[in-house]
Chain A
Amino acid sequence: MKGLNNMAGAAGKLQWTRKDLLGLEHLSKEEIELILYTAASFKEVTTRRIKKVPALRGKTVVNLFYEPSTRTRTSFELAAKRLSADVVNIEIEASSVKKGETLIDTGRNIEALKIDIIVVRHNCSGAPNILARSVKSSVVNAGDGWHEHPTQALLDMFTLKSKLGRIEGQNVSIIGDIAHSRVARSNIWGLTKLGAKVTVCAPKMLIPEGIEKMGVKVTSDIKEALTGADAINVLRMQFERDTGGAFPTRMEYFKQYGITKEKLAGCKPDIVVMHPGPINRGIEMSSDVADGKNSVILEQVTNGIAVRMAVLYLVGLVKEGAR
């Protein structure tokens, strides 16, 4: 945790002034560092016997999920509860959307219930931004379409930082379905702002056009992505979305791009292997890698709570002027 604590100087002077966390694209390097620094403090809270602090006592958080999610919603729920906030979960499939209510109307109704923070996941890119403009409550993006998933990228960076000491100058390869991945997009924004050298690697069909404009190296050669990498972030193949025609079969994908012990043999011995979960074993990654010594996949899950506590704390207690 050393790397996280020694930036007290820089982060200590910065004030958080945003009512919402919608993505990493518009955050400054310093704001990202403040979130990571704050998360390091919350990580300690999660190791206490009583894993709960009174910081958001009396505040209410709504998890508004238009897409099924177990891990992200649970992580946000635990984060809010460990800050002593009250939490309400709204799964929208079973709700008014079926009756034709618009997102903005839903938001205003939630606001009328005196909710302080809305954590929203939506299948449409930009939905959290629309919601944030329509309500005074804080809005936290828990993943929107193919756009951004900022807290996932923040917890990936937090994990990297605690493993490698710093992010600046590290070679990080993001491997898998880049085209449909909000996790990739948020990671690219965040990592490049913090000075990492980012490579994205996927079959050509899964690389969106123009991605190199985000400041990343692009390759379809897995060897190139692995050689010299300090860390890899292996994305989930999203079969529930349309990946039609991107590659012939799942077996073929695993053969070419699946991370195996053999493929890692030529890499840096302490390469950090990340995956946002849930893993398709035997497709993106073999079991011996997922469960191996380089894997930090379960640490990512633990760190996710600390990072989300930090985000809820920062937006939940932002000063009135920002609302």
Chain B
Amino acid sequence: MKFKEKAKVLDELAVDKTLERIAHEVIEKNPSGKGTVIVGIKSRGAYLGERLADKIKAISGSRPLVGALDITLYRDDLSGATEQPVVHATEIDFDIDGKRIILVDDVLFTGRTIRCALDALVDFGRPAEIQLAVLVDRGHRELPIRADYVGKNIPTSTGETVDVRLKEVEGTDEVIICERVK
């Protein structure tokens, strides 16, 4: 299947501003920063989680603890996936019991990844609360899941993909909508 770039919806500056806005919203919604931790979903959500923590520190002065979660083992399509996914390590070096977790991912689509992440998190402990922050919500949910913080709502068709490129991976920050070419 081939895809071609259709439109750039966020550039470097916009990604940065969007994360900053989410940071403000997180602080506004949770005025006492105590007990707030960030868990990013690997791989891009983990980088975004680190950045969000930096932004929160710049505003409030204290940086929440950050962990990274690999959800591969919780996927509901492991037996059917066309490629066998590589399992990466989860790195949550703190106790999540009683914590308020800000779960971070790049794109919210069907909601299945978030379902995996919720299942995985409860295996680590019993958080007081889990909130969800995503850079992009592209719609087409297949499960009753919604985000508490949305960087940008991007209506898409199912034939399109949303590519999030980050400096840590691709060397540049941008969000691109691509469409399938026949």
- In the complex the two chains form, is B88's CB within 8 Å of A313's CB? no
- Known contacts A53-B73, A53-B74, A54-B73; is A41 also within 8 Å of B123 by CB? no
Contact call A45/B125, Cβ cutoff below 8 A:
no
Contact between B123 and A50, CB atoms less than 8 A apart = yes
B78 interfacial by beta-carbon distance below 8 Å: yes
Known: A52-B123, A54-B74. A317 touches B89 (CB 8 A): no
Please state if B73 and A49 are interface contacts (CB–CB under 8 Å).
no
Taking a contact as CB atoms under 8 Å apart, the answer to whether B83 and A49 are in contact is no
Residue contact A318 to B86, C-beta cutoff 8 Å: no
Q: How many A-B residue pairs have CB under 8 A?
A: 60
> In the bound complex, do residue A53 and residue B83 qualify as a contact, i.e. CB atoms below 8 Å apart?
no
In the bound complex, CA of A53 to CA of B89 (Å): 13
**Chain B interface residue number, banded:** 20 to 34
A314 within 8 A of B: yes
Kindly list chain B residues whose C-beta atoms are within 8 Å of the C-beta of A66: none
**A41 to B89 alpha-carbon distance, docked (Å):** 4
Contact with A along B65-100 (1 / 0, CB 8 A): 000001011100011001110111111000000000
A314 to B87: give the CA distance in the assembly, Å. 10
- Chain A interface residue count, Cβ-Cβ cutoff 8 angstroms: 32
Assembled-state Cα–Cα distance A47/B100 (Å): 22
User: Is A44 in contact with B89, judged by CB distance below 8 angstroms?
Assistant: yes
* With contact pairs A41-B70, A45-B73, A53-B123 given, residues A317 and B78 touching in the complex (Cβ less than 8 Å): yes
- The reply on B3 being an interface residue by CB < 8 A is no
**A48 with B89: CB separation less than 8 A:** no
Bound CA–CA A233/B125 (angstroms): 38
Residues of B close to A302: CB separation below 8 A: none
Cβ of A100 under 8 Å from chain B = no
CA distance A52 to B82 in the complex (A): 24
Known: A41-B88, A44-B91, A317-B84. A49 touches B78 (CB 8 A): no
A residues within 8 A CB of B120? 53
Instruction: Tell me the bound Cα distance from A40 to B86 in angstroms.
Output: 12
Q: Is there contact, CB below 8 Å, between B84 and A319?
A: yes
Contacts of A45 in B (CB 8 A): 73, 90
B residues within 8 Å of A by Cβ?
Answer: 70, 72-74, 78-79, 82-84, 86-91, 119-120, 122-125
6 nearest A-B pairs in the assembled complex, by CB-CB distance: A53-B73, A50-B123, A55-B73, A41-B87, A41-B89, A44-B89
